[in-house]
Structure formats: C-alpha cells, structure tokens
C-alpha cells in the first residue's frame, strides 16, 4: 500500500492545506442487456488508490485525522456469487489503507460533512458521475451558512494536471511494469512474424498476438489491436481485423499487451509471405531510417518537438529520392507536401494509457524538455492508399508504420522495443525460419 499512499501524500503536499480532493472511479458499462463490458478502473483513480473495483469515490483531506476516506461497494453475497468478489468497507481499510470507508450508497449523506468548509475543492470525475451533485452540495452549504458566517463561493478545480504531469515521469516500479508489458509484446510480435503466412486472417493474427502476450501475464491489450493487411493499413485506427492475408501484401500490426495497468504500443510492418518486394523494401527502409534518425535526437533536455521534424526531414528526402515528391527538399519542408503521405505526428507519452497523460507544452507554451524516465513512442509512417492517384501504381495499397517505445535515460535513451525485429534482414530471417 505504501506506493499509493506515497502518491497521495505527494499530491496533498502540492495543494493548499484547506483543500479537499474528490476522486471518482469508473462505473460499469452495459454491453447488451445484462452483459457488461469488462471493467476497467479510471487510471488516475487507480494510480492514487490501487483500488480496481467499480463505483468508488475517494476523498482526500490534507491535515485531517482521516486524510483518505473511501466510498465503495459493500459486501453482498448475491452480487459476489454472480459477479466478482468485493473488498467491502473492511477490505478498504485493511487492504487499501483507507482511514475510513463507507458504503457508496452513503455518499450523499456523508460527503457534505467531509467537504466541510475546506476552501479549495479539487475533483477528478472523468465520466461526470458526481460533478453536478457536487455543485449542488457546495451551493446548498453556502445557502445554509448562518447570517453571521461567511457565505463562501467555492468552485471546483481539476486535480488532473497535478496527477497527470506526475504520471509523465515513471518511477522504478512503473518502469518495471511497463518493461514487462513491452517485453511480452516484443515476444508476441516475434511470434506473429514467425507464423504469419498467406491465407491466414487478420483476426487470427490478433488472436495469436494476444495469446502470446497473455502467456506472459498480460490480461488485455492496451488498445484495440490494429491488424491491417495491404490497403487496410492506410486506415490509421483500423480495428475491423476480419480481412484475409494475401500473398504479396504487407501486414501492419500495431499491438501492445497490457500488464497490471501499463501498456506497450509497438508497430511492426512485414511482408505476409516473408519477403519484401522491391517497392515495399524502398518504403520500409525509408520509414525505418526516419525512425532511427528521430530516436537519435532523444536525450534529457531535448525538446519534445525534436523527433517529429527530424522524422519528417528524412521522409521528405527519401520521398524525393524515390521520385514520389517532385520538388526540392526546401520546398517540401516549406509546404509540408509530404503530409499527404505521413498523415500523423510521430508519437505520444506512454504508460497506463496508450496515449498517456501529461502536458506536451510547458507553462510558457513551449514544448516540454525531455527528462529521464519519460517514456513515449516514436512512430513515423507512410501511407499510399489504393485510390491515391498522386503516386505511381507500384506504391499503392500499402501503409508502413514502425513504432518503438523509448525511455529517456540520464544520458540518452533506451529503445525498450528494439528486440522486436525491425530491420529488413531481421524480419525476413524470423519469417523464413
Ligand atoms: N496504437 C495507437 C497508436 O499508435 O497511437
Ligand atoms: Mn502509438
Ligand atoms: Mn501504436
């Protein structure tokens, strides 16, 4: 428990003494009739409590004799026989370190007293489950103040910037979970390469990836797997995954296992039959060169915006060399004409969320500088859909993206996903083995 307690104590040390923080967890969502989607706790809530059951609210009050109060579902024999075990209020105290726990049904009754007259009210309620009720409570408390008491106007502040900028810098414990997710996913990518062949389906690849990641303890994937054959790779968040794998086409597999709330995010693109054609080779090598050049810019103190322009410069140069862009490099960089083929930026923070939280700009509006223990993806791509008339036919119907997970170290970087085959030689050798 000390890990979560340390995080709560850190948060409370950042805000005013006369504050109260209300953290609302996720609720369950119906898939159809009486079938629910698998439950996933809100990540900020989990980060501060480690509590993964639905319908919970945590109330943190610095300086109080009960700094951590948890409202959660009570034990219920029927519900626990049919659905899942519950910690109940006893477990909330004993296992999760709450100073006091109440049945969530008592929230309405207890919360006004916990708010008291604390001046600063911080909230995290991503689903908006209680924010309107909170306004009502604050309003009615103000109305109830006696004539000789101050009628304080209290507004709600988001607590998320404090938590989420902290989440950007990974602790040793977080890095070990993240590395586990990445290593499991690297092995799963390798496995998929080794069994991939024409005649299989995108769905089979999706299942093979998850099966192998699960064998390393991943309970889920961090985002819907993108298993995109041929032209399907030109749809960036393709997730239908039902098409056949055809001879002569590429497969783009963007998949990451989720291990104890931390996810990998790795993309590899490889020939379905195990051997790149000459035009696939040209595009693949170009994307790999741009990824490698972007990775080389990573070090503490470098700007978040060092990677994207570097990747785009290499891609633009290569597109000119391949005669896909018919202009000078200066013109290409000026007009950004390459964007019609690159489509997206080249990365995002990575952690509990695949597109992890935390600002990309600092308080002056400048790109943040990289710091040790930040983790992010770099993922340049080139996309030439079948209908793209601007390029020669030989390029059409392929999308290539290569995505690695990069940790900033004290002196530079570590490519956490480097062991997933990424050079043409390594991919062909794994696939033909
Ligand atoms: N898998 C989603 C992304 O790469 O951002
Ligand atoms: Mn990504
Ligand atoms: Mn990805």
Q: Whole-angstrom Cα distance, residue 204 to residue 110? A: 51
Which atom number of ligand 1 is nearest to the Cα of residue 256?
1
Using an 8 Å Cβ cutoff, are 249 and 397 in contact?
A: yes
Over residues 66-86, the mean pLDDT reads: 96
pLDDT of 433 strictly over 80? no
For residue 221, the ligand closest to its alpha carbon is: 1
At 356, the pLDDT band (50, 70, 90 cuts) reads very high
Label residue 297 by pLDDT band (50, 70, 90). Answer: very high
List the beta strands (DSSP E) in 91-171: 100-103, 120-124, 156-158
By alpha-carbon position, which residue is closest to atom 4 of ligand 1?
265
pTM, 2 dp: 0.96
**Where is average pLDDT lowest: 109-123, 293-307, 366-380?**
109-123
Same topology for domains 2-166 and 172-431, yes or no?
Answer: no
- What is residue 297's three-state secondary structure? coil
So what's the pLDDT on residue 137? 87
Confidence of residue 353 (pLDDT cuts 50, 70, 90): very high
Residue 42 has pLDDT above 90, yes or no: yes
Report the alpha-carbon distance of residue 251 to residue 238 in Å, rounded: 12
Burial 246-277 (b: 16+ CB within 10 A, else e): eeebbbbbbbbbbbbbbbbbbbbbbbbbbebe
Which pLDDT belongs to residue 307? Answer: 98
Among 147-151, 192-196, 309-313, name the one with the lowest average pLDDT.
147-151
Average pLDDT over every residue of 239-245: 96
Best mutation site among 267, 402, 406 for ligand 1 pocket (most ligand atoms within 8 Å of CB)? 267
pLDDT tens digit string along 388-403? Answer: 999 999 999 999 999 9
Superfamily of 2-166 according to CATH: Creatinase/prolidase N-terminal domain (3.40.350.10)
Which residue's CA is the nearest one to ligand 1's atom 5? 355
Query: What would the mean pLDDT of 151-157 be, rounded to a whole number?
Result: 83
Strands 257-259 and 220-221: antiparallel
Measured in Å, residue 292 CA sits from the centre of ligand 1 at: 18
DSSP SS3 for 188: helix
Distance from CA of residue 122 to its chain's centroid?
24
Least confidently predicted of 60-74, 85-99, 135-149, 189-203: 135-149
Q: Is 172-431 in CATH node 2.40.50.140?
A: no
Measured from CB, residues less than 6 Å from any atom of ligand 1 are 223, 254, 265, 354, 379, 403
C-alpha of residue 236 to centroid of ligand 1, in Å: 8
* Two structure tokens written together for 296: 């080389």
Domain positions in the chain = 2-166, 172-431
pLDDT digits (tens, 9 = 90+) for 128-144: 999 999 988 888 888 88
169 C-alpha to ligand 1 centroid (Å): 20
Which tokens is 163 given? 């938590």
List Cα–Cα distances, 29 to 76, 102, 242, 308, in angstroms: 20, 23, 26, 37
Best probe residue, ligand 1, of 181, 221, 223 (max atoms within 8 Å of C-beta): 223
CA of 284 to the centre of ligand 1 (A): 18
Task: Give the chain's count of helices (H) and strands (E).
Answer: 14, 19
CA distance 402 to 378: 8
The residue-averaged pLDDT of 130-159 equals 86
Q: What is the pLDDT of residue 148?
A: 85
Could you report the per-residue pLDDT of 204-225, keeping only the tens digit for each?
A: 999 999 999 999 999 999 999 9
pLDDT reading at 1 higher than 70? no
């Amino acid at each position: 428990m000390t890990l979560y307690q340390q995080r709560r104590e850190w948060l409370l040390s950042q805000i005013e003494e006369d504050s109260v923080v209300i953290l609302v967890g996720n609720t369950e969502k119906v898939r159809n009739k009486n079938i629910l989607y698998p439950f996933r706790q809100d990540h900020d809530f989990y980060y501060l409590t480690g509590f993964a059951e639905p319908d919970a609210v945590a109330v943190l009050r610095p300086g109080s004799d009960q700094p951590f109060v948890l409202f959660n579902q009570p034990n219920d024999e029927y519900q626990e026989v049919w659905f899942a075990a519950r910690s109940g209020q006893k477990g909330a105290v004993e296992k999760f370190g709450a100073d006091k726990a109440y049945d969530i049904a008592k929230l309405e009754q207890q919360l006004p007293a916990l708010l008291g007259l604390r001046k600063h009210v911080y909230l995290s309620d991503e689903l908006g489950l209680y924010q309107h009720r909170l306004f009502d409570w604050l309003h009615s408390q103000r109305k109830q103040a006696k004539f000789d008491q101050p009628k304080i106007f209290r507004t709600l502040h988001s607590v998320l910037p404090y938590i989420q900028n902290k989440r950007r810098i990974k602790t040793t414990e977080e890095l070990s979970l993240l590395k586990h997710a990445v290593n499991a996913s690297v092995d799963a990518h390798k496995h998929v390469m080794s069994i991939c062949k024409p005649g299989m389906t995108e769905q089979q690849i999706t299942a093979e990836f998850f099966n192998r990641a699960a064998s390393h303890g991943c309970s889920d994937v961090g985002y819907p797997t993108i298993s995109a054959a041929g032209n399907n790779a030109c749809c960036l968040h393709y997730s239908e995954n039902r098409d056949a794998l055809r001879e002569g086409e590429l497969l783009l597999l963007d998949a990451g296992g989720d291990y104890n709330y931390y996810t990998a995010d790795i993309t590899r693109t490889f020939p379905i039959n195990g051997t790149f054609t000459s035009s696939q080779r040209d595009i693949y090598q170009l994307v790999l060169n741009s990824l490698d050049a972007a990775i080389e810019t990573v070090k503490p103190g470098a700007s978040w915006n060092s990677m994207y322009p570097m990747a785009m410069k290499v891609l633009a140069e290569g597109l000119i060399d391949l005669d896909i862009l018919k202009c000078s490099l200066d013109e290409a960089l000026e007009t950004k004409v390459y964007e019609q083929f690159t489509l997206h930026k080249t990365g995002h923070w990575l952690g509990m969320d695949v597109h992890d939280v935390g600002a990309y700009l600092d308080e002056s509006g400048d790109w943040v500088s990289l710091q040790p223990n930040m983790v992010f993806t770099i993922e340049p791509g080139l996309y030439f859909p079948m209908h793209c008339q601007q390029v020669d036919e030989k390029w059409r119907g392929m999308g290539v993206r290569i995505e690695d997970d990069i940790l900033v170290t004290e002196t530079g970087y570590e490519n956490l996903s480097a062991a997933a085959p990424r050079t043409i030689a390594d991919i062909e050798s794994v696939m033909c083995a």
